[in-house]
Structure 1
């Protein structure tokens, strides 16, 4: 399975001196500085792509599985490996993918370097079970995407699975049966591959998954966290490197866990949080490409999700699942494009903003605050009679209120603790609109 781990012996040794530093003891100020770009960027694009795009959610005439299809249908390792010979995505264009992300307003991309099926989507020197050695495609998609992101000014991140159904030392179900040696897998396979990814592609984010297996412990998570931060101190790493994630809500169950941010999956936190967090969601039902999944969320829903996440102080990582040809499905591209149009008009209410204690009013108004602490954005998706009433935010007398997309200040009055803002007869854009309120104060709960 391995080509050679010797290349990484020197790298690991050279880092051993630096690994003595405990990055888990990082000061709050240092972490705030390291995480600032990530917090400010707010919106990213997730990409789940691998061999599972070939069966596309169907095996032997039965549906189910997507990126979990190997496990869902109990496909033997040797049989699953045959998908590699069929993986030849001639339509893959890294620059096109990045342009789709950029047009959507996404500021960073996170792509699967290795999912649970164990297949490496880059030219790995640790294994031949990778896209260059095992497929007719023979191209390093991770390198091409990393280069395209760098050229476009988009941050690049990598998803990596801790568990591995393919590696005999990581999967007790492998046949012929052998006693797996997880420590050997961790030290001679998992770590060397991660070191390779950092050295070759310089990711800004490492996004882990598969930490729920019994073989993985918090102690191992902390060790890996320090190992990776020693290789690149500026890395941003999610909390699934640890064991602290509390179900799909994704926030830590206990303090002092490894990882920098919580990871709610397919849901948004019920309220705001001062902790770093990122809600990851699909545009349809599945992460990986499923040819029969046409249950697409509307652009309006996706925009409202982004607004809700930003108001609660989080990030939104929205997934696409490219097909085996290397194409992002057209319905995903269409919806991402609509998000980009909305963000072009209203971006200052989403990026580089902070959450207010009173982050919402009713079901149709969300608030964010500019970094200056003086500008409040009221984002609304419903209004009546060309006016909107707000009780939570109180502008100072003489301050100005604008509707993003228009240059003229709006008329507003204050009466009985409520602010009434007169809106134009025709609102610019659609789905949701933003009032920019200068010199506003938020009322205490």
Structure 2
């Protein structure tokens, strides 16, 4: 996976890219077609994926032998990056393979655990950045068959088990970073002469043949998950694309590099604040690492994992939850327990996750919502309630539709509803049915009609405008800004000066307001514009140290002449614009 120090810059470089048609290598299929950009995704290929909403990611390999320890020391960082982070020589690292003997590997058990948890597909690391292949490869002897005492292909029995139990199977493949085969890239550069060589020769000799092997030898492949495009030029990326014709229905992600978008945007370890236009799949770990690490005991509670799934579905994405098996092939017990807990919740509530679309609400103070198209012109809303109302009344804010029915999803008990000035009230039992999330199923007439959310002032008169509640705008053909993050949201991917955002808010007391925010940019100079009604201010932003280094600044003072509803617009000065990340704006009454 992408290490955190690289993720922002790598993902930013992928935010405004276009597919290329040139430079196929001579030994690849002649009739291949390139994958479309996000805006032209072939829905016949992706329909199953959009319905699935939940998948299992598996990181497994030789790195589970050291499991985060080298020369008696705990190596900080991700378990699967230990070779890189500890600068382990190739010859030394390859000795670990002699201890990789997963005699307790039971692929059918893996698949059934995923299935019981409610997962619809599995993506496994066929080869991670250490270059070790979990399959029988003719392109490199650095693989499980030739380099380990186990001596058998690990992917084939998993593919067979997936077919047996109706589980879709996808493959992760590290196409650029390869620290065990000569010429492969390394994110921070090589540390061993044994790694040096031509990257182009590596691609032609190892990567291209191995991708052909995994797309040819294991039946249908649902998803191909590229990762970390270090040194991947357009020409290098183009060599891989014709191979996709071997699996006409395959879905790919956005990490190949070389200006290729693929089908899926892949947020890592976060859920986008407002979702993303197009298809997206957020990948997250159960603890802090992807590959098994013996000293990582920071297991996320099952409640958090269930709510991550709900949060992702409520914004129109898929949740790819990672597990890191031990060398033996067993899942650590905390993983087993969490999958069982998720499965227990999904057994009752999966209807509110599978085949859903985003809920229509910008703000739900008590939880999240998903939706589906109902029958006879109705829409179904699934309300996932985290904070159960103490007074027995749940307000659905801003909902204007006529209610056809309301019931608890778990037991089918009918609930009474009534109109309120600011939405619909649902009469609920004194206690919720599930502490993780109790789901209420609401059927309404027509498409959801929800009044816009209007931000109100706090008790001190200040007004906080957060990225996740902004309205996003861009001119035709432009790239949209994307709200990112969880608790610390920011407006990111602001690569197009034509894009801008706005907020609606209430003002009780007209007057002058100081506007503060937090910004991050590596640019030497870039300028933001801010306007309310006819009042406009501009502020030059200088280098803060990078896209992750935020600085608190004052944008200036603006006069707001009228009480009631106002709109603030934040835009770019096109004459002086470089990308910048912006956190919430806070309007503070002056004087």
TM-score by length of 1: 0.88
Match of 2:255 in 1: 240
CA gap of 1:178–1:274, structure 2 versus 1, over 3 A, is: closer
CA gap of 1:68–1:168, structure 2 versus 1, over 3 A, is: same
Structure 1 unaligned blocks of 5 or more: 1-11, 245-256
Task: Quote the offset at 1:63 in angstroms.
Answer: 0.9
Secondary structure (helix, strand or coil) at the match of 1:81 reads: helix
Q: Distance in 1 between matches of 2:198 and 2:235?
A: 17
Higher percent of residues as helix:
1
Name the count of aligned residue pairs. 415
Match of 1:230 in 2: 245
Query: Residues 357-401 of structure 1, C-alpha deviation per residue, up to 9 Å, x if partnerless?
Result: 425412x3212111446111111111123331111334415x111
- Per mean C-alpha deviation after superposition, the further-off stretch among 175-184 and 425-434 is 175-184
Q: Distance in 1 between matches of 2:125 and 2:358?
A: 30
Match of 2:36 in 1: 24
Secondary structure (helix, strand or coil) at the match of 1:133 reads: helix
CA gap of 1:83–1:25, structure 2 versus 1, over 3 A, is: closer
Match of 2:232 in 1: 216
Match of 1:254 in 2: none
Match of 1:60 in 2: 71
Matched, 1:166 2:180: yes
Task: Quote the offset at 1:174 in angstroms.
Answer: 6.4
CA gap of 1:334–1:243, structure 2 versus 1, over 3 A, is: farther
Q: Distance in 2 between matches of 1:437 and 1:389?
A: 13
CA gap of 1:23–1:47, structure 2 versus 1, over 3 A, is: closer
- Per mean C-alpha deviation after superposition, the further-off stretch among 144-153 and 172-181 is 172-181
Give the conservation status (yes or no) of the 8 Å contact 1:352–1:371.
no
User: 1:257-272 alignment to 2 at 5 Å?
Assistant: 257-272=260-275
Query: Residues 121-154 of structure 1, C-alpha deviation per residue, up to 9 Å, x if partnerless?
Result: 0111212111111111112111111111111111
Higher percent of residues as strand:
2
Q: Distance in 2 between matches of 1:26 and 1:301?
A: 30
Query: Residues 202-249 of structure 1, C-alpha deviation per residue, up to 9 Å, x if partnerless?
Result: 3211101121x1x2124433442x3132221111001001256xxxxx
CA gap of 1:112–1:18, structure 2 versus 1, over 3 A, is: same
When the two chains are superposed, the root-mean-square deviation of aligned CA atoms in Å is 2.1
Match of 1:396 in 2: 402
Task: Quote the offset at 1:424 in angstroms.
Answer: 2.6
Give the conservation status (yes or no) of the 8 Å contact 1:262–1:277.
yes
CA gap of 1:46–1:26, structure 2 versus 1, over 3 A, is: closer
CA gap of 1:392–1:329, structure 2 versus 1, over 3 A, is: farther
Matched, 1:293 2:296: yes
Structure 2 unaligned blocks of 5 or more: 1-24, 453-591
Q: Distance in 1 between matches of 2:128 and 2:39?
A: 32
Residue among 366, 371, 383 paired with 1:378: 383
Give the conservation status (yes or no) of the 8 Å contact 1:342–1:430.
no
Match of 1:350 in 2: 353
Secondary structure (helix, strand or coil) at the match of 1:24 reads: coil
Give the conservation status (yes or no) of the 8 Å contact 2:352–2:370.
yes
Q: Distance in 1 between matches of 2:361 and 2:238?
A: 35
Give the conservation status (yes or no) of the 8 Å contact 1:391–1:417.
yes
CA gap of 1:408–1:173, structure 2 versus 1, over 3 A, is: closer
Match of 1:307 in 2: 310
Q: Distance in 1 between matches of 2:261 and 2:69?
A: 37
Residue among 92, 95, 98 paired with 1:82: 95
Match of 1:5 in 2: none
Based on CA coordinates, which of the two structures has the bigger radius of gyration?
A: 2
Q: Distance in 2 between matches of 1:289 and 1:303?
A: 22
Give the conservation status (yes or no) of the 8 Å contact 1:105–1:340.
yes
Q: Distance in 2 between matches of 1:267 and 1:27?
A: 23
Match of 1:187 in 2: 204
Q: Which has the higher contact order (CA 8 A, sep 6+)?
A: 1
TM-score by length of 2: 0.67
Give the conservation status (yes or no) of the 8 Å contact 1:375–1:438.
yes
Q: Distance in 1 between matches of 2:62 and 2:225?
A: 19
Give the conservation status (yes or no) of the 8 Å contact 1:117–1:165.
yes
Matched, 1:40 2:42: no
Task: Quote the offset at 1:408 in angstroms.
Answer: 2.7
Q: Distance in 2 between matches of 1:384 and 1:444?
A: 22
Give the conservation status (yes or no) of the 8 Å contact 2:184–2:195.
no
